Structure formats: structure tokens, C-alpha cells
A and B are shown apart, each in its own frame.
Chain A
């Protein structure tokens, strides 16, 4: 009974909305009847199935590698900067504006430069992914660290805890829920920017494939790799949700 109620309140609404939107899309596509520029969901599914081998075995691994490496690098850089800023007021003052400036640069516009510097390499694509994701991680982690309960910090001090102990045992766990927020925010960005970077400079990958299909005027095949990217992003989110519940389920008690 409770499972049915949970289904009704949690899963049914998005499924209904999604179903309706897909239906409208399909009907519109059928009415226009120009599959090469406006394919319907059914055509896209069909084309994805036809292209499954090339997409999943040939193009997905390289994209997945860009997403994961870029994102992990971003997590390392992002949390690293947050910790430095948390420990030193001077570093915080120094970095604060510089970091904001990095966020005013449209990654898509300067990615071609990375390609000019580094060629059609993974490195060029990683820079794009890191540039678009690290800031959200830095900002959220830094906030989480700074917002640690002062009373708990003082309690630790009365126990004789040193700065490092306070950081490891109190501040880091206090910031963990915020870090998870940032991780969940940035995983879709990493997916999108990995694809954009491939659009601009790659010889394989889902983004590259999608771009090539545009020149062939094969609308359904433009969408097919994007469908796979969406599934990857959703899978990533699901894994993170699960990890968050296991590791940082205390968000509401902080």
C-alpha cells in the first residue's frame, strides 16, 4: 500500500508529464513529416537502436572517459581550492575575484583555443569540462566549511582539539552535504561540456558523432548520441543520490 502511495506521489507525476510531452512531440513530428530535421521520439529510438554498436562501443567510451576524468579532476581542484580558502583568509581574498572571472568566460567560445594549443587531444577537452564545473564545487564546499556550527567548534576546542582535528572531524563532515549538492549540480554540466568539447575538437565521441550527423542531415542520428548522454547523466545522478543517502544523510540535522 505504501509502495503504491509512494509511486503515486513521487514517480507518477514526472512520468505523466514526460509522457504527455513526448506524445505532443511525436504528433507534431508526424504532422510536419520532415524526419531529417524534426524526428519524433519513436524515430530517435529506432535510429539509436540501429546505431547502437557504433554509439556504445566506439563513441561512448571516449566521451565517458572525458566526463569522468574531467569531473574527478574538477572535484579535486574544486575541493582543494575550497580547503585552501577556508584555511587562509589571504588566499580567499586573493582567489575570490579571480575565480569569478573564470566563470564569466563562455567555455564554448574559448574551447577552440584549447584545441589550437593542445590539438585534438583529451587534454583540450578536459580543460573545458574542468573550467565549467570546478567553481560550483569550490563555492559550495567553501560555504559548507565556513558554515560549520561555531558552538561545536568551541566544544572541540574545550576537548583540546587542534586545527587539523577540528577540520577532519567536524568541518569536513559538516561540509559533506554541500559538497554532494555541488556534485549533483556539476555531473550534468560535465556531460554537456564534454559533448560540446567534442563538437569543437575531437575525432570520436558522442558529441563528435552528433555534429557529423548534422552535416548528413540525419536528424534522428543527431539526437541518438544525445539520448545516450542523457541516460549517462541520469545514471550519474542516481549513483550520487545513493551515495549521498549513505554518506551524508544527516543534512537536516546540521
Chain B
């Protein structure tokens, strides 16, 4: 269980707080989306979870243990693929493990396994420039899996892709998650994407963020795109859009 308790955070040198007395609880094993306008604190939420920033007040805990004492609990997948162009696909995927000085052979085996999982077996010796945008994001996902965290932090991973690639990667990610025992926290600004992918949607509210509104998505584990046309889902989307709008104009 992931827990934010009374967290306050302001970027050093800035006047405006991003979070004030913010609390959040998220269960293990879920697919949770966080949506909001840009500047609504989504990315800061991830930076706090990553340990890239420390809250000035309050605590962030995983199963009761504060984050600074936890190691490798969260794996972060950035918006751009950020693959290293001088490394082969395989070496890119191995990176998080080689940084932890795990034995080379083990890293290679795990990397191949992950590449197979993301449908890129046979591409391991290629270089990022030889891959399409969608393939690069899949390599980036494989690298995130190799980082070994229980919690996957995906920061708008599909926002830079064309819409067809994006739709197929959404379906692919949903399918991956069905077979992984991981908690996914997914940032997006796309309501449809959030509804299709997640079990639960969080909207950060207030500026600075002081709370959040939760929505359950009433879709089954195995889902198809057609289900998005159901009346209850359409209504959920409308509710989300209305809330986001009111947040934006505040």
C-alpha cells in the first residue's frame, strides 16, 4: 500500500507550493491513472515517489516504510523513451541492472526475457535509431521492467506517438498488466486513455494540490475498445471532463 500523508512540497526557489497537506492511499496491484492539466502536479507526484524530490512536510510510505529507506520499489518510465543511442537495444534494457552491478550473464538473460515479453525478440543487437517510435517505447518499457520495482511509474509514455501507434500500445499495455503482478501509476492528460487503461482514476484538485477525487472504472479486467461506448462509461468520461474543466478555470 502506497501512502501520502499530509505532504507539502514547494520547488526550491519557488514561491508557489505544488502540494499542501496532501494525502493519498493506493492499494497494491491496481492500475491507477492520474489525470490533470499540465502544471497540476502530476509530474511532481512522480518526482516525489522517485526520490528525485523530498517533501518539506509529511511522509510518503510504502507498506509503512518511508520512501528514503526503500530501495528499488518504484521503476520510472519517462515521457520520451530516453534510450541511450550508443547502446544496443539489449544494453539499454540491461542498464538498470548493470548499474546495480548484477552479473552480466544474469542481466543479459533477464533483458532477453523482457524483450521477448514486449514482442521485440530478435532486435536485441540493433540500435535505437533502427527502431520506430512505438518500438522504442516498448524497449523503454522493457527497461522499466528490468529496473525491478513493484510499482511502475509511467509518465505519459504514449503522448509523443501518433494516434494509431498509441491505441495499439494502450491495448498492449493493458494486456501486459493483466499478466504482470505490478502496481501501475499512469500519468496522462487524455481522459479516454485513462478510462480504457485503469481500474481507478485520480484527479488532483486545487492549486496547490490539497486533495483528489477518485473514480472507479466499471470495466472488466479483459477489456476492448468497444466497451468505451457503453453509456455508463460515456457518463464517466463526461464527469471527468467536467471536473477537469472546473479545475482548469479555477
Q: Is B a genuine binding partner of A?
A: yes
Residue in chain A with minimal CB distance to B129: A253
**Within 8 Å CB of A158, what residues of B?**
50-52, 74-76, 147
**Within 8 Å CB of B51, what residues of A?**
157-158
Contact flags B121-133 to A (C-beta < 8 A → 1, else 0): 0000000110000
Please determine whether A160 and B71 come into contact, CB atoms closer than 8 angstroms.
yes
A21 located at the interface, meaning its Cβ lies under 8 Å from any Cβ of chain B in the complex? no
Stretch among B57-65, B77-85, B165-173, B217-225 lining the A interface: B77-85
Contact flags A128-164 to B (C-beta < 8 A → 1, else 0): 0000000000000000000001011011111111000
Q: Give which listed residue, A152, A160, A165, A173, contacts B72 with CB less than 8 A.
A: A160
**Within 8 Å CB of B71, what residues of A?**
160
- Min CB distance A160 to B, Å, is 6
Please determine whether B76 and A155 come into contact, CB atoms closer than 8 angstroms.
yes
**What is the bound-complex CA distance between A154 and B74, given in angstroms?**
14
Residue in chain A with minimal CB distance to B96: A159
**Within 8 Å CB of B128, what residues of A?**
253
A4 located at the interface, meaning its Cβ lies under 8 Å from any Cβ of chain B in the complex? no
- Min CB distance A177 to B, Å, is 10
Please determine whether B129 and A250 come into contact, CB atoms closer than 8 angstroms.
yes
A68 located at the interface, meaning its Cβ lies under 8 Å from any Cβ of chain B in the complex? no
Residue in chain A with minimal CB distance to B148: A159
B95 located at the interface, meaning its Cβ lies under 8 Å from any Cβ of chain A in the complex? yes
**Within 8 Å CB of A157, what residues of B?**
50-52
Q: Give which listed residue, A155, A156, A165, A253, contacts B85 with CB less than 8 A.
A: A253
- Central interface residue in A152, A155, A158, A170, by most chain B CB within 10 Å: A158
Q: Which residues from 71 to 106 on chain B have a C-beta closer than 8 Å to any C-beta of chain A? A: 71-72, 74-76, 78, 80, 82, 84-86, 95-96, 99-100
Assess A165 versus B80: contact at CB under 8 Å? Given A158-B52, A160-B71, A250-B86: no
Q: Size of chain B's interface in residues, with CB distance under 8 A? A: 21
Q: Is the interface of B mostly helix, strand, loop or mixed?
A: loop
Please determine whether A152 and B82 come into contact, CB atoms closer than 8 angstroms.
yes
- Min CB distance A245 to B, Å, is 13
**Within 8 Å CB of A149, what residues of B?**
82
Please determine whether A156 and B99 come into contact, CB atoms closer than 8 angstroms.
yes
Please determine whether A160 and B99 come into contact, CB atoms closer than 8 angstroms.
yes
29 A-B residue contacts at CB 8 Å? A151-B78, A151-B82, A152-B84, A154-B50, A155-B78, A156-B99, A157-B50, A157-B51, A158-B50, A158-B74, A158-B75, A158-B76, A158-B147, A159-B95, A159-B96, A159-B100, A159-B147, A160-B71, A160-B72, A160-B100, A161-B99, A169-B84, A169-B99, A170-B84, A173-B84, A173-B86, A250-B85, A250-B86, A250-B129
Residues of A participating in the B interface, judged by any CB pair closer than 8 Å: 149, 151-152, 154-161, 165, 169-170, 173, 176, 248, 250, 253-254
Name 12 extra pairs, CB < 8 A, besides A151-B82, A159-B100, A253-B128: A151-B80, A152-B84, A157-B50, A158-B76, A159-B95, A160-B71, A169-B95, A169-B99, A173-B84, A250-B85, A250-B129, A253-B85
